Amino acid sequence: MRDNKSGSLKRKAVVLLSGGLDSATTLYAAKKNGFCCFCLSFDYGQRHRRELRAARAVAKAARCQQRVLKIQFPWKGSALLDAFSSLPHPGKDKTDIPVTYVPARNIIFLSFALSYAETIGAEAIFIGAHAQDYSGYPDCRPEFYASFKNVVQTGTKAGVKGRRILIRTPLLRKTKSEIVRLGSALKVPFALTWSCYRGGSKPCGNCDSCYYRAKGFKEAGIKDPLIHLHV
Amino acid sequence: MRDNKSGSLKRKAVVLLSGGLDSATTLYAAKKNGFCCFCLSFDYGQRHRRELRAARAVAKAARCQQRVLKIQFPWKGSALLDAFSSLPHPGKDKTDIPVTYVPARNIIFLSFALSYAETIGAEAIFIGAHAQDYSGYPDCRPEFYASFKNVVQTGTKAGVKGRRILIRTPLLRKTKSEIVRLGSALKVPFALTWSCYRGGSKPCGNCDSCYYRAKGFKEAGIKDPLIHLHV
């Protein structure tokens, strides 16, 4: 039986689930915290739509409901939305915001999660932003999440009525290797996740996202079962 | 020639245009302020989808570009999304948040506007929230807009780089009759706008939205050309 059906007395949470290593670990962390999780994924024209298949598989493995919302960014504005743009070279020093930054993407994702959470009476929204990301992406930084909390309090019925919807970022201060260790302890099905920014049938191994995933597993001293699958 | 094409040296603004009296007046106020306006409308399953036709007509009359984004609220949660729900009776004292409140709707709209504004290099986002609304809708209150400003500053590339994207709410402290007077002075084509919450071919005249529109025109001492059209 599904977690969502069996756990009607549990506290509810909406979990933003992209299908990557981070969001999958976040989902398992939310479950570990006793939440009945409702996963929310976005089909937003990302070049790595392959991650949506991963998101479905992870939600299923975690026995959670999942919704996939189709949204548009017709104005593009990111290498992640444009199959003809170059992706950044892996491991280069990040002195600027990466070209894979999608303007206001996490703000949009959180806003939909908030609408969902408010409607179903969820107490929390989980998002897998973390230290590695917030060195580059503005909408992954702690200051942003602090600001968004005020939006929840002032701009929703729940907030005005004094019902709290917390924005939970359990990975925010963790490195990639710490996330891998946490995910491993939580028995996250890493083989089902997908990180590669390219839309191929197997991880390219040389985009930014593949690079940091490999580095995280290496530093954690754990083998990545996804790579093992594709070797 | 369209304003957007002729005005490449003008400051740009994204204007949230629902097609109602308030957003149309906001668009004309933004133009009056010298902005080259890019209108953004949403097809979100609202029962009064008729307003989208109005939004297109108003954008065309104002000689501005317009984008219509299709988004989903599959979790419903509002009488405005459900053709079988009752709409509130007009003019009743608002002691609570109306059933037409759509969870986090304006937060979602603003987030998309922010993504658009950041991509095209706009300096401002205009939204037609006002006093009448904020007595009931949490996401129309001044406190909410103050919070959202911090989200813009902390959560976007523009904000982090010190480029400002202002959230402009020119109607925020105006009553409906003051908005009608302002719109009249700005030559807003009121006959093209649409306010009625029902999806009929002419304004129902007895929903909340029709009631406040009629009251606004009456108090302003101006005839509503839309009603005149349908009589």
Instruction: Report the length, in residues, of chain A.
Output: 231
Who's near A44: CB < 8 A, 6+ residues apart?
A70, A71, A72, A73, A81, A102, A105
- Find, among B208, B216, B215, the residue nearest to B177 by Cα: B216
Taking CA–CA distances from B137, the nearest residue in chain A reads A157
Query: Which of A150, A151, A172 to mutate against chain B (most B CBs within 10 Å)?
Result: A151
Cβ atoms A117, A14 nearer than 8 A:
yes
What is chain A's mean pLDDT, rounded?
Answer: 87
CA–CA separation, A141 vs B31, rounded Å?
35
CB < 8 Å to B40, chain A: none
CA distance B222 to chain A (A): 33
Q: Determine whether the interchain pair A151/B144 forms a contact, defined as Cβ–Cβ distance below 8 Å.
A: yes
**Segment A207-223, tens digit of pLDDT:** 888 988 999 999 999 99
| Sheet with A124-126: strands ordered across | A65-70, A36-43, A12-16, A124-126, A166-168
Query: Which of A112, A114, A153 to mutate against chain B (most B CBs within 10 Å)?
Result: A112
- Find, among B21, B7, B9, B48, the residue nearest to B128 by Cα: B21
In this prediction, residue B162 has a pLDDT band, given cuts at 50, 70 and 90, of confident
Alpha helices in B88-202 (DSSP H): 105-120, 131-134, 142-155, 157-160, 176-185
- Find, among A54, A72, A66, A71, the residue nearest to A15 by Cα: A66
* Number of compact structural domains in chain A: 1
CA distance A27 to chain B (A): 20
Residue whose token pair is 């570990």:
A32
CATH number at residue A37: 3.40.50.620
CA–CA separation, A168 vs A165, rounded Å?
9
Q: Name beta bridge partners: B12.
A: B36
CB < 8 Å to A143, chain B: 154
Q: Determine whether the interchain pair A103/B111 forms a contact, defined as Cβ–Cβ distance below 8 Å.
A: no
Question: What pLDDT, on a 0 to 100 scale, did the predictor assign at position B136?
Answer: 76
Domain of residue B182, residue span: 3-230
Q: Is B37 helix (H, G, I), strand (E, B) or coil?
A: strand
Burial class, B89, CB count within 10 angstroms (exposed 0-12 / middle 13-18 / buried 19+): exposed
**Segment B36-78, tens digit of pLDDT:** 999 999 998 887 888 999 999 999 999 999 999 999 888 877 7
Cβ atoms A4, A36 nearer than 8 A:
yes
CA–CA separation, B4 vs B1, rounded Å?
8
By Cβ distance, the residue of B104, B115, B147 closest to A103 is B115
Eight-class DSSP state of A9:
T
Taking CA–CA distances from B120, the nearest residue in chain A reads A75
**Segment B108-145, tens digit of pLDDT:** 999 999 999 999 999 999 999 986 765 678 888 889 99
In this prediction, residue A6 has a pLDDT band, given cuts at 50, 70 and 90, of very low
* Plot region of B166 (φ>0 → left; ψ -120 to 50 → alpha; else → beta): beta
Which residue spans within A44-144 are E strands per DSSP? Answer: 65-70, 124-126
- Find, among A205, A225, A224, the residue nearest to A87 by Cα: A205
CA–CA separation, B185 vs B85, rounded Å?
37
